[in-house]
Amino acid sequence: MKLRKKIALGLVLTMGLTMFAGCGGNDAQQDAEQTGGDAAAAIKVGGTGPLTGGASIYGLAVQRGAEIAVEEVNALGGVQFELKMEDDAHDAEKAVNAYNALKDWGMQLSLNSVTTTPGIATSELNNEDRIFGLTPSASGTKVTEGKDNVFQMCFADPNQGSASAKYISEQQLGSKIAVIYKNDDAYSSGIYEKFKAEANALGLAIVSETTFTTDSQNDFSVQLQDAKNAGADLLFLPMYYDAASLILNQANAMGYAPKFFGVDGMDGILTLEGFDTSLAEGVMLLTPFSADAEDELTKNFVAKYQDKYGEVPNQFAADAYDCIYALHQACTAAGATADMSAEELNDLMVEQFTTMTFDGLTGTGATWSADGQITKDPKGMVIQNGAYVGM
């Protein structure tokens, strides 16, 4: 008996401590949640995202970007929003629970999920429950496929792959191309597959294809050596910036200097704390958002974000900011009010999103197809002297 008590005590203690760690985050989050103003007259917008865990950099960015936008649109005095983000820890099961919690709260419009794996699960529910979903950043095609009321603010993965191949071909950036991609990640392998198909169609030669996984995301010497031996003059990196920074570092250490070409996940590399930005000199990427852009909208957003959260926003924050503005534009145009049911709003939103044109931080003249994918032009950027410059 005594033994059991001790075990139980130990477990409870550890669990308590771990949960306490989680709660700390939730408190801060609840303080920030109530940015929506008068709850009675506001449309309830909910979303799930990784606010804790390894992918929390994306979830928190979305939450913060959306908060800033909600504050701004509410200050305009028209359609009012109330925002609530629930944690899904980048896990599909937790995302479903988080989605249900939001539904109980009375969610009328949904930001779906921040990342693709949870997004696939929650978009299914969006469709069944007839709650309109606009995801800021879940870029997988399965998120929108077959769901008439789920839309994306970011590019779908394959579009980035084919756009990159076209860009490399048009600008004649390289003749022999090597690709390193992350084969346990839907984002990375999705872009790679489309890139390869498009590259073959355009007659670009892919001379080296190697992979890595979350578990082997430290050492890239073999992959880089393979690319070097194959004589590749351009290295395509469809991945996030944390892995890319290691690749740049190790390529430099072994004296291999091809052209590097990244996708939107590469954004963030310059603000990586402690990163030697000279390693990223000359890296090219296609991205919808750059925090260094000189237009008023970007400058205003970046200044507010830095002021409030002490860091430079990435493209996830920008996508979330645009989501709120797009919803606001659609609600205003459709004459939506806070006392409408989710289903009524859903029909209005689907009608608006398939017909409207949206100008935001992440691109101008954006339109949506009926299957929920966005069309906007990615900007080609090159890193020079530690800053993005348009190509």
Partner 1 sequence: MEFLFNLISGVSLGSIYAIIALGYTMVYGIAKMLNFAHGDVIMVGAYICFFATMRFGMPPLAGVLLSMAVCTLLGIIIERMAYKPLRQAPALAVLITAIGMSYFLQNAAQLLWTSSPKVFQSVVGTINGQTGIALFDGALSISYVTIVTIIVCVIIMVSLVTFVNKTKTGKAMRAVSEDKGAAQLMGINVNTTISLTFAIGSALAAIAGVLLCSAYPTLVPTTGAMPGIKAFTAAVFGGIGSIPGALIGGILLGIIEIFAKAYISTQLSDAIVFAVLIVVLLVKPTGLLGKKVSEKV
Task: Please report, as ranges, the residues that interact with partner 1 according to CB under 8 A.
Answer: 3, 6-7, 9-11, 13-15, 17-18, 21-22, 24-25, 52-57, 60, 183, 210-219, 221-223, 225-226, 229, 241-243, 245-246, 249, 253-255, 272-276, 311
Count CA atoms within 13 Å of residue 101 on its CB side. 13
C-beta separation of 160 from 191 below 8 A: yes
Given the complex with partner 1, which of 278 and 369 has the nearer CB atom?
A: 278
- Helices 56-76 and 296-309, axial angle in degrees (round to 10): 110
Transcribe 130-146 into DSSP letters: T--EEESS---HHHHTT
Cβ 253 to partner 1 shortest distance, Å: 6
Given the complex with partner 1, which of 61 and 334 has the nearer CB atom?
A: 61
Cβ 220 to partner 1 shortest distance, Å: 9
Q: Compute how many other C-beta atoms are within 10 angstroms of the C-beta atom of residue 100.
A: 15
C-beta separation of 348 from 330 below 8 A: yes
* Rounded Cα–Cα distance for residues 302 and 280 (Å): 22
* Rounded Cα–Cα distance for residues 317 and 210 (Å): 31
Cβ 249 to partner 1 shortest distance, Å: 6
Cβ 314 to partner 1 shortest distance, Å: 9
C-beta separation of 213 from 238 below 8 A: no
Cβ 14 to partner 1 shortest distance, Å: 4
CA-nearest of 259, 292, 277, 266 to 361 is 292
Given the complex with partner 1, which of 27 and 296 has the nearer CB atom?
A: 27
If DSSP codes are grouped into helix, strand and coil, which group holds residue 263?
coil
* Rounded Cα–Cα distance for residues 173 and 284 (Å): 10
Phi, psi values for residue 197, rounded to 5°: -60, -45
Cβ 379 to partner 1 shortest distance, Å: 23
Given the complex with partner 1, which of 270 and 349 has the nearer CB atom?
A: 270
Cβ 18 to partner 1 shortest distance, Å: 4
